[in-house]
Copies of this chain bind each other. A is one copy, B any other.
Amino acid sequence: MKRVSIKDVAKEAGVSTATVSYVLNGSQQETISAETIERVYKAVRELNYIPNQSARSLISRSSKLIGVIIPQTEPGKEFMFSNPFYGSLLSAIELTARKNGYHLLLSGTQSDQRYVNIARNRDVDGVVVVGTYPSKQLDELKQMDIPIVLIDTYVTDEAFHTIGISDRFGGYMATRHLIDKGHRRIAFVSGSIREHGVNEKRYRGYCEALNEAGIPLDEQLLYIGAVDYDYGIQAAWEWRARKQGETAAFVTSDMLAMGFIKGVKQTGLSVPRDISVVGFDDLEIARMTDPGLTTIHQDVVEKGRCAAQLVIDGVREKGMSRQENILPIHLVERESVKDMKKEKVND
């Protein structure tokens, strides 16, 4: 099955390949008669010609491809994007990219693999990095001289655009909300705290709120594990076992919070009667469960859209100055927090 090339179109239209290329790409420099343009388009239609992107990339060094890296941080779980948070993010990135004529080269990454190779050998135009990476790997990406956008990573390197939220403030808001409702012993439940990552900042916010209220930090109230449902369950059981008297927990992700609530139920207790819970993210599932989860809302779709847009702008405008985008967040009150100041709470 012979494929249709620009030469075939040129022959059919009775012009040179250069002319066809100029017509199709509308290079402003060149002037081409309306009649010729029409003949070229006619030939394109008749032959059902589709330009070959590989040939294009080869010469123009632009693949119209945006690389998306989603690291696999938890070895047990196969992939992070089965988590709806990453799914939504990916959706938004894809949509924005497609609207602008780009496509997505998707790659999960295991620690032993070097994403740079993929990006380089495919002439990727830009990269969106989701989640926290060892800075050594980021340094390699930096060499490539293409726009790179980091989502949810705290680095101040001039080479990277970043997009995120104020995780510290989110942590503060969540904890402060619990304090305002009369809680004094507040557990902190989180996935692993890695350098430059979001959980570190959320932890800072937690500490700050406690400090402000004059509540001493107690290491016994820290539950640090993975960022999935199962660890949430586990943390709840551990909470029961440790008996530190917490009346509330700030759980740094909704997925984790769902697990925590389930775990509390498993131990025969109930949320918010026996323990109040505030989550983080405000995923769709936060309103699905019973009780509805009080949580910090962030706009995941906007996060993805912004990231993609930043890459695209970076491609168009070479040497665009570094952008650091912080999206707004807010607390959403549902039913998972009990007001300790009221004597009774309806069940």
- Chain A interface residues (CB < 8 Å from chain B): 1, 50-55, 57-58, 63, 65, 68, 78-84, 86-88, 90-92, 94-95, 98, 103-108, 117-118, 120-123, 145, 229, 258-259, 262, 265, 284-285, 287-290, 301
Query: Chain B residues with Cβ under 8 A from A104's Cβ?
Result: 105-107
Interface of A is mostly: helix
Query: Chain B residues with Cβ under 8 A from A80's Cβ?
Result: 91
Complexed CA–CA distance, A240 and B156 (Å)? 55
* Contacting pair B94 A79 (CB below 8 A): yes
Query: Chain B residues with Cβ under 8 A from A53's Cβ?
Result: 121-123
Closest partner residue, chain B, to A83 (CB atom): B87
Complexed CA–CA distance, A84 and B108 (Å)? 16
Query: Chain B residues with Cβ under 8 A from A120's Cβ?
Result: 50
* Contacting pair B94 A107 (CB below 8 A): yes
Closest partner residue, chain B, to A118 (CB atom): B103
Query: Chain B residues with Cβ under 8 A from A290's Cβ?
Result: 262, 265, 289-290
Closest partner residue, chain B, to A145 (CB atom): B1
Q: Which of B95, B105, B117, B123 is A105 in contact with, Cβ under 8 Å?
A: B105
* Contacting pair B108 A122 (CB below 8 A): no
Closest partner residue, chain B, to A116 (CB atom): B50
Closest partner residue, chain B, to A114 (CB atom): B50
Q: Looking at the assembled complex, report how far the CB atom of A55 sits from the nearest CB atom of chain B, in whole angstroms.
A: 5
Query: Chain B residues with Cβ under 8 A from A258's Cβ?
Result: 285, 288
Query: What are 29 A-B pairs with beta-carbon distances under 8 A?
Result: A50-B120, A52-B58, A54-B54, A54-B55, A54-B57, A54-B58, A54-B63, A58-B58, A68-B106, A78-B95, A78-B301, A79-B88, A79-B91, A79-B92, A82-B84, A82-B87, A84-B84, A86-B87, A90-B106, A91-B108, A103-B122, A104-B105, A105-B105, A229-B284, A229-B288, A258-B288, A262-B290, A285-B285, A289-B289
* Contacting pair B103 A106 (CB below 8 A): yes
* Contacting pair B103 A105 (CB below 8 A): yes
Closest partner residue, chain B, to A88 (CB atom): B82
Query: Chain B residues with Cβ under 8 A from A58's Cβ?
Result: 52, 54-55, 58
* Contacting pair A81 B90 (CB below 8 A): yes
